[in-house]
Structure 1
Amino acid sequence: MHIEDEYIRLIFGLKLKQIRTEKKLSLFGLAKLTGLSKSYLNEIEKGKKYPKTDKIATLSEQLDVPYDHLVSLKLDKNLAPIGEILQSKILKEIPLELFGIQEKNLIDIVANAPAKVNAFISTIIKISQNYNLTRESFFLASLRSYQEAHNNYFDEIEEHVQDFANSYHLNLEENVSSKDLEEILTEEFGYTIDNEELSKHNNLMQLRNIYIPSKKTLLISNDISEAQKTFIYAKELAYNHLKISHRLYTFPWVKFDDFDQVLNNFVASYFAGALIIPKKTLVDRLNTFFSLETWSTDEFIKMMKTYNCSAESFYQRLTNILPKFFHIKNLFFLRFTHKLGSPKFRLTKELHITQQQTPHANRNNEHYCRRWVSIQSIKDLEKTNNTSSFGLQISSYENSDNEYLVLSSATPDPFRKQLNRSISIGFLVSPHLKKKLKFINDPAIFTKQVGITCETCSVKNCDVRVAEPSRLERQLEYENIDKTVTEILNNYS
């Protein structure tokens, strides 16, 4: 097994620094002791240089440490987790550059404070094990952080969409259809579209498409809607127009090799959403809608259906446009799924611009508050057996001054039987939001007190509670114990 030279240098540097520190030697002191320069020793400890055999022998002799111990790649228990991280190459998988961090800077931090970094890494590993943090969820969390850091608006992709539309004479003032995009795919990029192959495989019912690069063939499900087909074609055009070859080949994805594929999938999806729902027309329509004195569900759905898109694509596009053009940044996006007959509602997708909003995904297997409109819209769908349902409410959080205006659309999942889903977007009710949305004070918009999970909720006589407030009760018990102990200590003092 080949071990990278970089890894070998880092391990030697960490061990040398640990030994020097244990012997209470400064770099200056070690330089005096060994005759090696202070700058050279510093570069060794930072993993930038690996000493030659004669210099390792000198270090071994002067530090009174066996030569074999110095050159061994085995680390003691205090540094073992760092070794595991370095050898696993996870630092190369973390998209550090997205957050303005250079890998070498992170390595310097590890080298300069190995004990503290080790404790931190050990903690992260234990947390990830307890919460079943997978490689996929780690990458998705990184992607969400990247989106949130940019308020989920990317000028460069928006410009690429406009360039594409100009190049192929697409009028973004009009509805973009799958026929328009299929023609470009086949005529300009040499694609072959196959609508039959996927239907021959029962175990691929959940897939919407597979792309075969060697044949430039797109296998596409014949069960998808016009809006879904248009979105798939738009993503393929994004990959070609942006010259992205390192990509995922299925939708939804089955597997990925690295973070770049996840990021490129996001870029292509963003491009598709911006092409199908152009920013100019959406901003104009939102301005008109926000000027309404009273809320109108019919007008909102009419605006959404103006575009050849799914409810999820429309709500996602709102998370791009509202922070940029309306300065509505305190918002969240949620996607819930529910299997018929199951007591569980799963939060399968989320985004929080400004990172202040609740709720976040629940890793404790607790029960989400059934008072949320996100869950109620799914319940309404299942009661009526309609093709869709819509819900609206102002959610007032217990023990908090925060209120959110939340819109939610629910539909059956077209690719999974017995599964329903809701897409929701929520806005923090603030003076700025009240100024932008004229209908915010409409008394027809119902306000409901909500919690986060049943296990943490103090709402009394809740008619939809599905679990006792066990975590809240435990917290209150500890607070009472602490109060009594404090009183006893004060009495005796």
Structure 2
Amino acid sequence: MAIAEEYIRLIFGLKIKQIRTEKDLSLFGLSKLSGLSKSYLNEIEKGKKYPKTDKIIKLAETFEVPYDSLVSLKLDKNLAPIGEILQSGILDEIPLELFGIQQSDLIDIIANAPSKVNAFISTIIEIAQHYNMSREGFYLASLRSYQEAQNNYFKDLEEAAVRFANSYQLDLSGTIKADELEEILKEEYGYTINEAGIPNQEELENLRCVFVPSTKTLLLSDRVDEAQKTFIYAKELGYQYLKIKERPYTFSWIKYDNFEEVLHNFYASYFAGALIIPRNHLKENLKNLFTTKRFSEKAFHKIMKSYNASPESFYQRLTNILPKDFGMQNVFFLRFTHKKGMDKFSLVKELHITHQQQPRANELNEHYCRRWMAVKTLQRTATNDLDYSFDIQISDYADTDQQYLVFTSATKDPFRKEYYRSIGIGFLISPSLEKKISFVNDAKIPTVKVGVTCESCSITDCEVRMAPPKRLLVKQKYKKTAALVANIVKEYS
């Protein structure tokens, strides 16, 4: 009921503002004509107040419009897109406050926009519907934008993890074990933990854990390893220590009911990463690695294995530390999944710091470049049924002249049979990066010419192409057509 009343107020306010603007009246002028105060009229237009019947009659008489047209929820063609937006509830779904935007201000901007802008907004809504973007997908895209706006570094969460470690005497210069965190969950927060509490059923195969809030019972899958268990415990401690109430109760999530759950899940995950892979410790290790002239895979893995964390947690932690402490702003993180024997590679998680790098998810079901390090490593791992593999290359993008130094690790998915996943991180190569990472110019690191998708790639001699460059061919056809038309026009001019 409250939402309906708010919608009615907003629509009425938009109508009043539209009519006033069409009649070239200021709020001051309308106030003089109607006898209503300027501040009261302003609150009506902003949708904060809905006038009583006598005042609506006065406004109708002032504007010389029928009373019924003012109180009707029907909007003319110029305001119709705004009505669709308000009625759809999409503004309630968007976490505007996260970006410092008030909903009333956004409505005001939309209301003042010319018809072309409203048409553009309608187009955006239509595109979202066309691609069948789920609510969860929208939430996750909003979260990703928030992370990228902050360079994926959150000082408050970093400091909270350090305070927690100091409070519970956890050694941030050593490897934190799962049993240390389990003891705190049990003794301090009253948890009961069942390490084989999730039934072995196909529908539940992707679940690592389930939390039952009424009894503070944490049910674990019997397939989680030591690193995964440590992360789960650290994440639960994050929820408790940060006093987070609204949260998902499964990991991996089944669905998110609102954006707060998505945001709080991220906060707890970030806290867990900061606890398990301490910032200062990792920073010193990376400094030593980056000063070497030749890349050492052994040294890289020595750093990774010094933390009780999965490869994915380690790579994600790099996206927090490298932009903040090393000034590496143009960084991307990618996670792919792949089923053995299939041609499809799915990009299921991505993050781009500062620069919208080429490797990003597409909705066109096109074939990602098989020369990408992430895809090649994943293929090798699946074909040879490896538990883990790693590789490094410089990816030279054919159509942009940009090069990226890319690290990728691939592993079996312990929760799904014959599924594999790869986690990669890439850095835009520039004079600045060459000063920060000495081994960028290591001749032993292969440079490979890559595209984005086969359908848009201009590489002509690709031995692993999965589809013809249809988008490129269409562009070339249009270009040739335009040139022929220009010749015809020239001939008859």
TM-score by length of structure 2 reads 0.95
Distance 1:249 1:60 in 2: 53
Q: Which residue of 1 aligns with 2:48?
A: 48
Q: What's the CA shift for 1:342?
A: 2.1
Change (3 A) 1:77 1:226: same
Q: What's the CA shift for 1:359?
A: 1.6
Q: Which moved more, 1:388-397 or 1:483-492?
A: 483-492
Q: Which residue of 1 aligns with 2:91?
A: 91
Change (3 A) 1:36 1:113: farther
Q: What's the CA shift for 1:64?
A: 3.8
Q: What's the CA shift string for 1:131-187, capped at 9, x where partnerless? A: 222211111111111111111111111110110011001011110010110000001
1:79 and 1:114 in contact (8 A); partners too:
no
Q: Which residue of 2 aligns with 1:352?
A: 352
Q: Which residue of 2 aligns with 1:255?
A: 255
Q: What's the CA shift for 1:380?
A: 0.9
1:410 and 1:423 in contact (8 A); partners too:
yes
2:446 pairs with 1:446: yes
Distance 1:17 1:280 in 2: 56
The alignment partner of 1:198 has SS state of coil
Q: Which residue of 2 aligns with 1:407?
A: 407
Change (3 A) 1:486 1:69: same
The amino acid of 1:276's aligned partner reads I
1:393 and 1:405 in contact (8 A); partners too:
yes
2:461 pairs with 1:461: yes
Distance 1:394 1:248 in 2: 39
Q: Which moved more, 1:254-263 or 1:52-61?
A: 52-61
1:14 and 1:114 in contact (8 A); partners too:
no
Distance 1:353 1:44 in 2: 42
Q: Which residue of 2 aligns with 1:69?
A: 69
Q: What's the CA shift for 1:301?
A: 1.6
The alignment partner of 2:327 has SS state of coil
Q: What's the CA shift for 1:2?
A: 5.2
The alignment partner of 2:351 has SS state of strand
Q: What's the CA shift string for 1:319-355, capped at 9, x where partnerless? A: 0011111111111000011112222111000000003
Q: Which residue of 1 aligns with 2:286?
A: 286
Distance 2:488 2:97 in 1: 54
Give the 5 Å matches for 1:102-121. 102-113=102-113, 115-121=115-121
The amino acid of 1:456's aligned partner reads S
Q: How many residues align?
A: 493
Q: Which residue of 2 aligns with 1:172?
A: 172
Change (3 A) 1:174 1:340: same
2:398 and 2:449 in contact (8 A); partners too:
yes
Q: What's the CA shift for 1:31?
A: 4.7
Distance 1:247 1:157 in 2: 17
Distance 2:20 2:475 in 1: 46
Q: Which moved more, 1:253-262 or 1:111-120?
A: 111-120
The alignment partner of 1:188 has SS state of helix
2:406 and 2:426 in contact (8 A); partners too:
yes
Change (3 A) 1:400 1:201: closer
1:377 and 1:408 in contact (8 A); partners too:
yes
The alignment partner of 2:9 has SS state of helix
Distance 2:120 2:275 in 1: 43
Give the 5 Å matches for 1:193-272. 193-199=193-199, 201-272=201-272
Q: What's the CA shift for 1:466?
A: 0.5
Distance 1:114 1:480 in 2: 37
The amino acid of 1:236's aligned partner reads E
Distance 2:460 2:490 in 1: 34
Distance 1:102 1:467 in 2: 46
Q: What's the CA shift string for 1:415-448, capped at 9, x where partnerless? A: 1112111000000011111111111111110001
Distance 2:473 2:175 in 1: 54
Change (3 A) 1:72 1:324: same
The alignment partner of 1:396 has SS state of strand
Q: Which moved more, 1:296-305 or 1:407-416?
A: 296-305
1:336 and 1:348 in contact (8 A); partners too:
yes
2:117 pairs with 1:123: no
Q: What's the CA shift string for 1:260-294, capped at 9, x where partnerless? A: 11001001000101111111111111111112221
Q: What's the CA shift for 1:114?
A: 6.8
Q: What's the CA shift string for 1:232-254, capped at 9, x where partnerless? A: 00000011111111111000111
Q: What's the CA shift for 1:196?
A: 2.9
Q: What's the CA shift for 1:3?
A: 4.2
The amino acid of 1:400's aligned partner reads T
2:46 and 2:104 in contact (8 A); partners too:
no
Q: What's the CA shift for 1:303?
A: 1.6
Q: Which moved more, 1:112-121 or 1:262-271?
A: 112-121
Q: What's the CA shift string for 1:50-99, capped at 9, x where partnerless? A: 22211211232343433222112233444333223223333232111221
1:131 and 1:364 in contact (8 A); partners too:
no
Q: Which residue of 1 aligns with 2:58?
A: 58
Give the 5 Å matches for 1:120-199. 120-199=120-199
Q: Which moved more, 1:95-104 or 1:62-71?
A: 62-71
The amino acid of 1:405's aligned partner reads L
Distance 2:220 2:169 in 1: 26
Give the 5 Å matches for 1:472-491. 472-491=472-491
Distance 1:25 1:474 in 2: 52
2:96 and 2:102 in contact (8 A); partners too:
yes
Distance 2:31 2:197 in 1: 70
The amino acid of 1:438's aligned partner reads S
Q: Which residue of 2 aligns with 1:426?
A: 426
2:340 and 2:383 in contact (8 A); partners too:
no
What CA RMSD, in Å, does the superposition of the two structures yield over aligned residues? 1.9
The amino acid of 1:362's aligned partner reads N
Gaps (5+ residues) in structure 2? none
Q: Identity percentage over the alignment?
A: 62
1:337 and 1:422 in contact (8 A); partners too:
yes
Q: Which moved more, 1:73-82 or 1:382-391?
A: 73-82
Q: What's the CA shift for 1:110?
A: 2.7
Q: Which residue of 2 aligns with 1:274?
A: 274
The alignment partner of 2:333 has SS state of strand
The alignment partner of 1:199 has SS state of coil
The alignment partner of 2:199 has SS state of helix
Gaps (5+ residues) in structure 1? none
Q: Which residue of 2 aligns with 1:367?
A: 367
The alignment partner of 1:435 has SS state of helix
1:336 and 1:347 in contact (8 A); partners too:
yes
